[in-house]
Amino acid sequence: MADTILVTGGTGYIAGELIDQLLDAGKSVHTTVRDKAKSESRLHQRWPEAGERLKVFQANLERDDGWAEACDGCDAVAHVASPFPLSVPDHPDDLVIPARDGALRVLSAAHGADIKRFVLTSSSAAIAYGHPPGKSTFDESDWTVLENPNVPPYHRSKTVAEKASREWVADNAPDMEFCSINPVAVLGPVANDDVSTSIELVLKLMTGEIPALPQVGFGIVDVRDVAKAHVTALDAPAEKVKGERFALSDRFLWMRDIAEILRVRVPAYAGKVPRRTLPNIMVKAGAAFVPDLKQIAPELGRTRDVSGAHAREVLGIHYIPAKDSIEATARSLVQNGIVKL
C-alpha cells in the first residue's frame, strides 16, 4: 500500500481534491509547483493540519530540475499536471510537446526512484475524438484518431502524452504498475478562484457571458469521483490496475440541459443563465471571427458519450449524479465570491 504519494501540479483543480482525499486517508503527500515561492504558503494555508505530511517541491514539466527530489521517498506517483489552456494555441506542438515530454520526464524520475505505481491523469480527450461522425459511444478500447487533422490541440496533446507514456513504460519499466484515469469534463465544488477550464463553462453561463445556448454537449464527472478513482488506483492490487485505462463519466448532457439544471437547482443564482438557443448557422458563420465559436463549431449536434462502467466495476466508483455536480459547482462559485449576484 502506498503511504507517500507524489501529486504533480498541486495548485490544480483535480490535484487539490486528490491531495484533500489523500491527506484525509492518512497519507503523506509530495506535490510539485512551478514556482514554490508563490505557491507553498497558499498550499499550506489550504491544508494547515497537514504539517510535515505535505511537502512542496519546485519542478517544471519542461525541465529536469527538481523531479528526483520530489520523487525521493515516495511509494507512488499521480501525475496530474498537464497544460489545459483557455484559448487555442498558435501551434498544436505548443501543447503536445510539453504534455508528452513532461509525462516522460516524471516517469523517468519515478523509475529512477524505484517507484512501482504510476497513475497518469489522462482524459476522454484521448478517447473520443477524430472518429467518424456516426460514432457516438466510446469506452477505454477507443483512442482519439491522431491521423485526423481536425483533432484539437489539447485533445492531441492528451492522446500523444498517454500513448508515449505507455510506450515508455513497455520499453523501459515493464514492471511498473502503470494505469491512466480518463475523465470527461470535470465539475464539482471549487476551493478558490483559480478555476479550471471546465468550470469556466458553468461560470460563463451564470454570469451571462454565454448569451445563448449552442447545440453542443459533453460528458460530466464530479471532481470528487475523479480524485477517488486516483486514490483507489494508487492502492489497488497490481492485477487490477496494471496497464489499465479508466474512463470516468456519469452522463452526457447538452448545454441546454445544464442551463435548465442551474435554473431548477440554484434559481437564486441563475438569473443570467440563457434560455435562447444559438442557431447552428450563426455558430458556423461566427467561427471565422470568434475563437470560442471556432472551437465549438465541430461539436454541433455531436454526441460523445464515454462510458464510465469499467471504473465502476473495477474501482468501485459510484458516480455523484451530474445534476449534483452542476449544483455544487454553482454554489461554490458564489461562496468563493467568483460569481457575484
| Residues assigned a catalytic role | 158
Q: Which three cell numbers stand for residue 47?
A: 491544508
Distance of CA 53 to the CA centre of its chain: 25
Three-state secondary-structure class, residue 222: strand
Q: In whole angstroms, what is the distance from residue 317 CA to residue 226 CA?
A: 9
Q: In whole angstroms, what is the distance from residue 321 CA to residue 19 CA?
A: 22
Backbone angles phi, psi at 245, to 5 degrees: -120, 140
Q: Which three cell numbers stand for residue 119?
A: 497513475
Strand partners, 207: none
Torsion angle of C-alpha atoms 47, 48, 54, 58, degrees rounded to 10: 80
Residue with cell 527530489: 69
Backbone angles phi, psi at 96, to 5 degrees: -65, -50
Of 4, 76, 69, 75, whose CA–CA distance to 32 is shortest? 69
Torsion angle of C-alpha atoms 307, 280, 86, 270, degrees rounded to 10: -80
Residue with cell 507553498: 40
Query: What is the amino acid identity at position 327?
Result: E
Distance of CA 329 to the CA centre of its chain: 15
Angle between helices 197-207 and 255-265 (to 10 degrees): 60
Of 215, 227, 194, whose CA–CA distance to 325 is shortest? 227
